[in-house]
Amino acid sequence: MKHNTKMGISGRIAQSFLTTSITPLLALVGVLLGVFAVMITPREEEPQIDVTFANIFIPFPGATATEIESLVAAPAEQVMSEIDGVKNIYSTSRPGMAVLTVRYQVGVDRSDAILRLYNKVYSKQDWLPPLLGVAQPIIKAKET
C-alpha cells in the first residue's frame, strides 16, 4: 500500500477503510444495528398529546365587528393573557359576538386550567363595557 504524503489524516483513514477487507462486515453490522434499533423503538401511530383549550363566547347584540373588537375582544385578550399556563389567545369579532380561544401549554392540568379561566372571566368583569348590552360570557372547555 502506497501512502500519499499529500493526504491528511482523514484521507489516510478513508484510504485504509477502502482497502481493508473488514469494511463490508462493519457496514453490515451497522445496518443490522439500525434495523434492530427501529424494531425495538416504541411508537404510536396517533400519540395522545393533551392540550387544553376553551372557547369564550361574548354576545354583544347590535354591535358591529369593529365595535366588538375594540370594546370586548381586545380587553378580553388582555385579561386572559394574565392567566398562568396560557400559551395563545385567538379572537374573532363578528357582528353581535366576540369569540376567544384560549389555548394552554401542553401538560397543564385541565381541571385547574379551566377553573382559573372561569375565575378570571367571572370574578373580574370590569373589562366588559358597562351598560352597553354586553351579555354574560359563555365558556366552552375543550381538549384535544
Q: What would the pLDDT profile of 64-112 be if each residue is shown by its tens digit? A: 889 889 888 888 898 888 888 889 999 999 998 999 999 988 888 888 8
pTM over 0.85: no
CATH of domain 52-143: 3.30.70.1430
Domain boundary assignment for the chain: 9-40, 52-143
Calculate the average pLDDT of the chain. 84
Give whole-number Cα distances, 126 to 60, 72, 131, in Å.
Answer: 15, 11, 11
pLDDT tens track for 17-33? 788 888 888 889 999 99
- Contact call for residues 72 and 93 (beta carbons, < 8 A): yes
With a cut of 60, say whether residue 12 has pLDDT above it.
Answer: yes
Residue 142 pLDDT class (50, 70, 90 cuts): confident
Strand order in the sheet with 52-59: 86-94, 97-104, 52-59, 138-143
In angstroms, how far apart are the furthest CA atoms of the chain?
A: 94
Strands of 34-136 (E only): list them: 52-59, 86-94, 97-104
